[in-house]
Amino acid sequence: MALTPSELRDLLDRYEITPSRALGQNFVVDPNTIERIVALAGIRPGDNVIEVGPGLGSLTGSLADAGAHVVAIEADRHLLAPLGEVVGTRDVQVVHADAMAVAWGDLLDDRTGWKLVANLPYNLATPLVLHVLDDVPQIGELWVMVQREVGQRLVAEPGSSAMGIPTLRVGYWADGEIVARVPASVFHPRPRVESVVVALRRRADPAAAADPARLFELVRTAFRGRRKMLRRSLAALADEDAFRAAGVASESRPQELALADWDRLALAVEAS
């Protein structure tokens, strides 16, 4: 079962823990929110789940209670003892490590089909999601609770002000959507903004045919001048013939293009 507000406060008091703003620690104190995330992720007996930033273990315990084998990666050594108390004898492996530097191959072995289910700190959310999609193919689904603006950037539509490099990198590997809104009132301490739950499901193959190095060279170069027309920001990389061959308007701004547009442009540049 998820921790109630009084149980969470008791743990904080007994272990003399003050949530760290530097580490982005906002603990969920609403059991209904925890149970909703477990249900959205479709956790069933026998599932293998990675949780990053388990904190005091409210989500961790609920994942294990649903029948999952959970590997919980926690960087803050001060949380290890209360986390261990909460998970007790459940099927949970607690790993004290930085998720951006952990040896994923050792943790996941050769098993595939892992799910990452986590309440991610603001400063870790985007780099961790991109790192997992780029480098940890054993993880097939990500169900992450993140601050709303982070979630919007991960799954933005072309033309949105939130569209950017993270959107395109996510779209290269996965289908994504925001599946739930989470109010600030369910956290302790209470953040200034609301959160969302983002679901990312890895594709069998990348969504673009072009060489990824070429593709993302174009993307990075263009977004360094996101207010400029592409004919100006990409002048050293793509000529008008390439834009015509790709069917991409050279007067477009980078946030107006979908991944498929970037793919065609990168292929046209490769062919020129």
CATH number, position 48: 3.40.50.150
Give the domain-ending residue among 202, 231, 249.
202
Residue 254 lies in a domain: yes
51 lies in some domain: yes
Q: What is the pLDDT of residues 125-152, one digit of tens each?
A: 999 999 999 999 999 999 999 999 999 9
Q: Which residue has the tokens 């989470």?
A: 182
Note the pLDDT tens digit of each residue in 177-229.
Answer: 999 999 999 999 999 899 999 999 999 999 999 999 999 999 999 999 999 99
63 is a domain residue: yes
Domain tally for the chain? 2
Of 158, 176, 202, which closes a domain?
202
Does 100 lie in the same domain as 197?
yes
Peptide bond connecting 5 to the previous residue in cis, omega within 30 degrees of 0: no
Q: Same domain, yes or no, for 86 and 195?
A: yes
CATH code at position 229: 1.10.8.100
- Tell me the CA distances in angstroms from 225 to 24, 28, 130, 141, 232, one per residue in order: 30, 38, 22, 33, 9
> Within this chain, do residues 52 and 168 fall inside the same structural domain, yes or no?
yes
Kindly report the pTM of this predicted structure: 0.95
Eight-class DSSP state of 5 = H
Tens-digit pLDDT profile for residues 6-23: 999 999 999 999 998 888
Residues 197 and 235 in one domain: no
* Full residue range of the structural domain in which residue 174 is found: 5-202
